[in-house]
Chains A and B, each alone.
Chain A
Amino acid sequence: DTGVSQDPRHKITKRGQNVTFRCDPISEHNRLYWYRQTLGQGPEFLTYFQNEAQLEKSRLLSDRFSAERPKGSFSTLEIQRTEQGDSAMYLCASSLDVGGNIQYFGAGTRLSVL
């Protein structure tokens, strides 16, 4: 257990539905990251927060994706109008500082869009 929690662990949904995932980082970590990992590939960066501010978003993050970290603690990632191509493992990580400290990853949320 790395101290980063993600919920749910698995989500099965029908195409067109909205889904929301939650990440609870290590409490003193001010940076929080979302990644997406498809089968056989390494994680791909989606977005990251410094406290409550969303500082960077990948081009992978289409308009259907939105992430929030309202109080600088937990974060949510919402996908609207899900598509089959959204099926992946969504990973959250937290750290104190990108250049210096290690990112701690959650176990991920596996999304299957039918």
Chain B
Amino acid sequence: KNEVEQSPQNLTAQEGEFITINCSYSVGISALHWLQQHPGGGIVSLFMLSSGKKKHGRLIATINIQEKHSSLHITASHPRDSAVYICAVHPNTGNQFYFGTGTSLTVIP
């Protein structure tokens, strides 16, 4: 069983649509990260959350610690948002991260 589950696995949207990607985890955590991975493998960290909500441009990330759930929202989606979005959590114990398998997003013009 994976400690981090993401949904959906694949998502296709029309340009301009509002997008939501969900992440659920089963362990107690000190932080949750949303990562973006473009074709070719490079990973960029978008957000680190331990509570509440963060916003950066068109991206919004929320976390509910009690429900062990986080969401990543993209407003007014654009083709350049097409990438794999990965949720990763840092557990309260140990030093490694647990990663979800990612959500592959394609935004069509």
Q: Which chain A residues have a beta carbon within 8 Å of chain B's beta carbons?
A: 2, 33, 35, 37, 40-45, 48, 55-56, 58, 89, 91, 93, 98-108, 110
Query: Which residues of chain B have C-beta atoms less than 8 A from A104's C-beta?
Result: 45
Count CB-based A-B contacts (< 8 Å).
Answer: 64
1/0 contact string of B29-47 vs chain A (CB within 8 Å): 0110101000011111100
Query: Which residues of chain B have C-beta atoms less than 8 A from A33's C-beta?
Result: 97
Query: Which residues of chain B have C-beta atoms less than 8 A from A98's C-beta?
Result: 90, 95, 97
Closest to A40 in B: B101
1/0 contact string of B70-92 vs chain A (CB within 8 Å): 00000000000000001010100
Chain B's interface size range is 20 to 34
B25 on interface, CB distance cutoff 8 Å: no
Distance A107 CA – B33 CA, assembled complex (angstroms): 18
Distance A36 CA – B72 CA, assembled complex (angstroms): 24
The B interface is mostly helix, strand or loop, or mixed, namely strand
Distance A4 CA – B44 CA, assembled complex (angstroms): 11
Q: How far is the CB of A37 from chain B (nearest CB, A)?
A: 8
A2-B96 in contact (CB<8A) = no
Query: Which residues of chain B have C-beta atoms less than 8 A from A35's C-beta?
Result: 99
Q: A89-B41, A107-B41, A107-B42 given as contacts; is B101 within 8 A of A42 (CB)?
A: yes
Q: How far is the CB of B21 from chain A (nearest CB, A)?
A: 13
A43-B86 in contact (CB<8A) = yes
A110-B101 in contact (CB<8A) = no
Query: Which residues of chain B have C-beta atoms less than 8 A from A110's C-beta?
Result: 41
1/0 contact string of B92-108 vs chain A (CB within 8 Å): 00111111111000000
Query: Which residues of chain A have C-beta atoms less than 8 A from B45's C-beta?
Result: 2, 102-105
Query: Which residues of chain A have C-beta atoms less than 8 A from B101's C-beta?
Result: 40-42
Q: A102-B48, A105-B35 given as contacts; is B95 within 8 A of A48 (CB)?
A: yes
B96-A56 in contact (CB<8A) = yes
